Chains A and B, each alone.
Chain A
Amino acid sequence: MDADASRRTARHHRAPRGVGRREGAPVRQPLPFAAPDGGGSRLEDLMAQVARGDKDAFSALYDALAGTVFGIVVKVVRDRAQSEEVAQEVMIDLWRQASRYRPEQGSVPAWAATLAHRRAVDRVRSAQASANREYDQAAREHQRPFDEVAEQVETRLESEQVRRCMRGLTELQRQAVTLAYYQGLTYREVAETLRAPLPTIKTRMRDGLIRLRDCMGVTT
Chain B
Amino acid sequence: MRNEEDLHTLTGAYALHALGREELTAFTAHLAQCASCRQEVAEFGGTTARLAAAVSTAPPPRMKDAVLHGIDSVRQLPPRLPADERPRTVSGVLRRKAGPLALAASLVAAASFGGLAVWQHQQTEEAQQRAQGTELRMRDLTSVLAAPDARTVHGRTSTGAVTSVVSSQRQDKAVFVGTGLPEPGPGRTYQLWYDDHGTMRPAGLVDSDGATLLQGDLRKASGVGLTLEPAGGSPQPTTAPLMLLALPA
Which residues of chain A have a CB within 8 Å of any CB of chain B?
21, 23-27, 31-33, 51-53, 55, 58-59, 62, 66-72, 74-75, 84, 87-88, 91-92, 95-100, 105-107, 109-114, 116-118, 121-122, 126, 156-159, 161-163, 177, 180-182, 184-188, 190, 199, 201-210, 212-213, 216, 218-220
Contacts and interface: CB of A to CB of B under 8 A. Distances in A.
B79 A51 contact: yes
Contact of A67 (B56, B75, B76, B78): B56
A55 B71 CA distance: 9
Interface string B206-233: 0000000000000110000000000000
A100 B54 contact: no
A24 to B, nearest CB: 4
Contacts of B76: 51, 53, 95-96, 98-99
Given A31-B53, A87-B59, A207-B12, 7 more contacts: A31-B50, A33-B49, A55-B68, A58-B68, A72-B51, A106-B46, A118-B17
Contact of A209 (B15, B74, B78): B15
B12 A209 contact: yes
A88 B67 contact: yes
A26 B58 CA distance: 7
Contacts of B70: 88, 92
21 contacts: A25-B57, A27-B56, A55-B68, A55-B71, A58-B71, A62-B67, A68-B56, A70-B58, A87-B59, A88-B67, A88-B70, A96-B77, A114-B48, A157-B55, A181-B51, A182-B55, A187-B20, A208-B12, A213-B46, A216-B46, A220-B45
B53 A68 contact: yes
A167 B197 CA distance: 44
B: interface residue count bin: 35 or more
B57 A181 contact: no
Contacts of B34: none
B190 to A, nearest CB: 26
Nearest to A190: B18
Interface string B146-180: 00000000000000000000000001000000000
A175 to B, nearest CB: 12
Interface of B: 9-13, 15-20, 42-60, 63-64, 66-68, 70-71, 74-80, 136, 139, 171, 219-220
B57 A21 contact: yes
B49 A157 contact: no
A219 B40 CA distance: 10
B54 A110 contact: no
A110 B49 contact: yes
Contacts of A216: 46-47, 50
A52 B77 CA distance: 10
Contact of A113 (B52, B60, B74): B52
B120 to A, nearest CB: 21
A190 B47 CA distance: 20
A205 B58 contact: no
A74 to B, nearest CB: 6
Given A67-B59, A187-B18, A205-B18, A109 B53 contact: yes
